[in-house]
Amino acid sequence: MDISAFIEKFIEAIDFAEPVEITPDTVIAELDNWDSLAQLGVIVMIDIEFSKTLTADDIVTCRTVQGLYNWAQG
Amino acid sequence: MARSVLKGVRIAGLSVCVPKTVIDNLEVPPEEQQSRDRLVRNIGIRYRRICEEGIIFSDLAEAATNDVLAGVGWDKSTVDAYIFVTQSPEYIIPSTSIVCQHRVGLPKTTLAFDINLGCSGYPYGLYTVGRMLGAHGLKRAVVVVGDQSASRGAKDSGREILFGDACSATALEFDETAPDIFFEGFSDGSGYKAIYVPDGGHRNPLTPYSLIPTECADGVIRKGIDVSLDGPAILNFSIEVAPAAVHSICEFSGVALDSVDRLIFHQANKMINDTIRRKLKRTPEQVPESLYDYGNTSSTSVPTTIVYRAREQFLTPGTKFILCGFGIGLSWATMLVETTPNTYCSTIFEV
């Protein structure tokens, strides 16, 4: 999966009510509507797509969408 | 390892009831509508039942017990054991099952006690009581399972929309001809803080501060006596252990997953339940749900789902079910059970 496909999956997972612009450099925790539901959506997406267990702390450590993508690939 | 086979135990009947009052999770002020729509869409819970106007969990327990006893046609004097699996006691002490033994009209020759388990509780209740039955043991028992955990007006929106109240009563009897029931149980106390009530026990006794809403580390406003939920931890736990436990009970029983007719999971939320189902490569038909209409009904979500969406299969002899509960503790358990002839099953009725 390339980064643009990953971003599509990410947007689908967070299911924000309003459309949102996401780039590889987007800092996840600083997204306007970032909340626990978005967190759960991303954890499920990572589990389904990459068979990896992502914790709330991992999301903080990864910081950006690119960071999360790299983590998932690692 | 907690692996066990119950021999000569039959599920004779099952009743499930709910309180009358319905909460529609989509009924919110207009400014909250958009975020609530998103929450309901993802969590998959639209309606919940709540005990109000003087109804409490024990009232549901009494109604479910009377219904199942009438359904299986047992005289009350023949019930040897009356066990509750609940975290919604009528009083902190004594056990609610004992209070209800008298109220329901069961004889003093009935043994009674409570088991303190939540979402994993249904297989544990059936196993514990099933173990007491036998040629040299007890003959008839009723297991009451459920909780009163619905809330209205809580500031924790994640918890607020989740829980619904419900209660089940299951009649178990000794029957030499019954097919084997397979059981496995697991615990992981390292995760106890994923779902817990911080105040009111001996570790953090109740103080006036326990009643004051405070912003917690995760940004959610709760009181010390409220249930604290760690969503990401619960999600990761559930989607890891539930599929593994299903594979494990299949291996133990020698029954292939493909020959299991219905898998009934604890109804946690749609994200968790959909992920478990996808991991096990099962169809929605094989894995019925009651989430949308009744919410997360704690320990009784498994029987609620059977009665609501698998009643026909439950009443068809020879149907293989896997029942899987998981959650607070952390605790989880599975049971593989085959239905038998002349079984009673209620529909969900209101109290």
User: Does residue B55 lie within any of the structural domains?
Assistant: yes
Test mutation, B31, B35, B41, B42, chain A, max A CBs within 10 A: B42
Contacts of A43 in chain B (CB under 8 A): 232, 235-236
For residues B30 and B52, is the Cβ–Cβ distance under 8 A? no
User: Does residue B32 lie within any of the structural domains?
Assistant: yes
Task: Let me know whether B159 and B226 are in one domain.
Answer: no
For chain B, what is the domain count? Answer: 2
Please indicate whether, in this complex, the C-beta atoms of A40 and B232 are within 8 angstroms of each other: yes
Task: Let me know whether B282 and B175 are in one domain.
Answer: no
User: Does residue B282 lie within any of the structural domains?
Assistant: yes
Please indicate whether, in this complex, the C-beta atoms of B158 and A37 are within 8 angstroms of each other: yes
Task: Let me know whether B30 and B175 are in one domain.
Answer: yes
Chain A residue with Cα closest to B41: A15
Tell me which of B138, B159, B179 is where a domain ends.
B179
User: Does residue B348 lie within any of the structural domains?
Assistant: no
Nearest Cα to Cα of residue B85 among B131, B125, B141? B125
Alpha-carbon torsion (B72, B74, B78, B79), positive or negative: positive
Task: Let me know whether B79 and B155 are in one domain.
Answer: yes
Burial of B315 (0-12, 13-18, 19+ CB in 10 A): middle
DSSP H helices, B73-180, are 96-104, 121-132, 157-160
Task: Let me know whether B103 and B190 are in one domain.
Answer: no
User: Does residue B350 lie within any of the structural domains?
Assistant: no
Residue B302: CATH number of its domain = 3.40.47.10
Task: Let me know whether B168 and B64 are in one domain.
Answer: yes
Task: Let me know whether B134 and B261 are in one domain.
Answer: no
Spell out the residues 6+ positions from residue B227 whose beta carbon is closer than 8 angstroms to its own.
Answer: B149, B159, B195, B196, B197
Would you state the structure tokens that stand for residue B130, as one six-digit string?
């099933």
Task: Let me know whether B64 and B187 are in one domain.
Answer: no
Domain that holds residue B139: 2-179
Task: Let me know whether B215 and B332 are in one domain.
Answer: yes
Residues 6-45 of B with CB under 8 A from A: 34-35, 37-39, 41-43
Whole-number pLDDT of residue B81: 98
Residue by residue, DSSP assigns B214-281 as EE-TTS-EE-TTSPEE-HHHHHHHHHHHHHHHHHHHHHHHT--GGG--EEEE----HHHHHHHHHHTT
Query: What gap in Å lies between CA B333 and CA A41, rounded to an integer?
Result: 26
Tell me which of B155, B179, B203 is where a domain ends.
B179
Is A12's pLDDT higher than 90?
yes
Contacts of A48 in chain B (CB under 8 A): 275, 278
Contacts of B34 in chain A (CB under 8 A): 17
Considering only CA atoms, give the Rg of chain A. Answer: 11
ipTM of the complex, rounded to two decimals: 0.92
Chain B residue with Cα closest to A18: B34
User: Does residue B208 lie within any of the structural domains?
Assistant: yes
Q: What is the residue-level pLDDT of chain B in tens, covering all 351 positions?
A: 999 999 999 999 999 999 999 999 999 999 999 989 999 999 999 999 999 989 999 999 999 999 999 999 999 999 999 999 999 999 999 999 999 999 999 999 999 999 999 999 999 999 999 999 999 999 999 999 999 999 887 878 778 899 999 999 999 999 999 999 999 999 999 999 999 999 999 999 999 999 999 998 888 899 999 999 999 999 999 999 999 999 999 999 999 999 999 999 999 999 999 999 999 999 999 999 999 999 999 999 999 999 999 999 999 999 999 999 999 999 999 999 999 999 999 999 999
Query: What gap in Å lies between CA A40 and CA A49, rounded to an integer?
Result: 14
Please indicate whether, in this complex, the C-beta atoms of B41 and A15 are within 8 angstroms of each other: yes
Nearest Cα to Cα of residue B340 among B327, B321, B325? B321
Contacts of B28 in chain A (CB under 8 A): none
CA distance A32 to chain B (A): 13
User: Does residue B119 lie within any of the structural domains?
Assistant: yes
Question: What residues in chain A have their Cβ under 8 A from chain B's Cβ atoms?
Answer: 15-17, 36-37, 39-41, 43-44, 47-48, 53-56
Residue pointed to by tokens 């600083």: A30
Task: Let me know whether B322 and B207 are in one domain.
Answer: yes
Task: Let me know whether B187 and B218 are in one domain.
Answer: yes
Q: How many CB atoms lie within 10 A of CB B77?
A: 10
Q: In order of start, what are the domains of chain A with their CATH numbers?
A: 3-73 (1.10.1200.10)
Residue pointed to by tokens 């009649």: B171
Task: Let me know whether B173 and B99 are in one domain.
Answer: yes
User: Does residue B29 lie within any of the structural domains?
Assistant: yes
Tell me which of B179, B206, B230 is where a domain ends.
B179
Whole-number pLDDT of residue B154: 80
Whole-number pLDDT of residue B299: 98
